[in-house]
């Protein structure tokens, strides 16, 4: 009897435990993605490389689409339209406490199999604050951390509006 229970539990784990995923794919025919270099119209000359490297890393970690350079099923292309860094808040002594970094993108995600744009946003602005004061409550302490978070927001935005859309 004990052997039957153990076999049942193991069989149940194998059959049902491995089939659940928190990710969805509204376009199951899309398996391979190509990310084209982003045109950078901002004054932050390294921003294009940071965005491409971050997106490449996130697609690799996500695993729903394999990053390729040849024969892609879909393609992400974009432009960094602008970059700004402005004072966001002051502390009680009227010293700068936080800065706000904002990046505006123009994006197109294309299904190359069906030759159809699945997502297009010509004016997507993403922002994040970072601290320069000890009294700040901002999550990020450097401009680079804030930019990395913006890249993560960009990836999530593209995925939510493409593979995760119903």
pLDDT at 165: 63
What's the distance, Cα to Cα, between the start and end of the chain in Å? 46
In this structure, is residue 40 part of a structural domain?
Answer: yes
In this structure, is residue 132 part of a structural domain?
Answer: yes
pLDDT in tens, 85-110: 999 988 888 888 899 999 999 999 99
What's the whole-number mean pLDDT along residues 133-151? 87
pLDDT at 21: 40
In this structure, is residue 47 part of a structural domain?
Answer: yes
Structural domain including 76 reads 26-161
**pTM listed for this prediction:** 0.81
Report the distance separating Cα 150 and Cα 101, nearest Å: 9
Number of domains, the chain: 1
pLDDT at 24: 54
In this structure, is residue 14 part of a structural domain?
Answer: no
In this structure, is residue 53 part of a structural domain?
Answer: yes
**Residue position matching structure tokens 């009227």:** 94
pLDDT at 25: 67
In this structure, is residue 17 part of a structural domain?
Answer: no
pLDDT at 22: 45
In this structure, is residue 2 part of a structural domain?
Answer: no
Helix (H) or strand (E) holding 157: helix 143-161
In this structure, is residue 31 part of a structural domain?
Answer: yes
Q: Looking only at Cα atoms, what is the longest distance across the chain?
A: 75
For the domain that residue 135 is a member of, what is the CATH number? 3.30.160.150
pLDDT in tens, 15-69: 444 433 445 567 888 999 999 999 999 999 999 999 999 999 999 999 999 999 9
């Amino acid at each position: 009897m004990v052997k039957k229970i153990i076999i049942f539990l193991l069989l149940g784990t194998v059959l049902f435990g491995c089939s659940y995923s928190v990710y969805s794919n509204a376009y199951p025919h899309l398996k391979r993605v190509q990310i084209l270099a982003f045109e950078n119209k901002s004054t932050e000359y390294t921003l294009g490389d940071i965005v491409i490297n971050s997106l490449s890393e996130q697609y690799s970690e996500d695993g729903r689409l394999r990053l390729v350079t040849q024969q892609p099923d879909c393609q992400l292309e974009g432009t960094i339209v602008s970059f700004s860094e402005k004072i966001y808040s002051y502390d009680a002594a009227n010293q700068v406490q936080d800065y706000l970094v904002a990046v505006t993108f123009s994006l197109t995600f294309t299904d190359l199999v069906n030759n159809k744009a699945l997502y297009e946003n010509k004016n997507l602005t993403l922002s994040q604050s970072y601290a320069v004061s000890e009294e700040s409550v901002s999550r990020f302490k450097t401009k680079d951390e804030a930019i990395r978070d913006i890249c993560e927001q960009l990836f999530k935005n593209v995925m939510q509006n493409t593979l995760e859309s119903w």
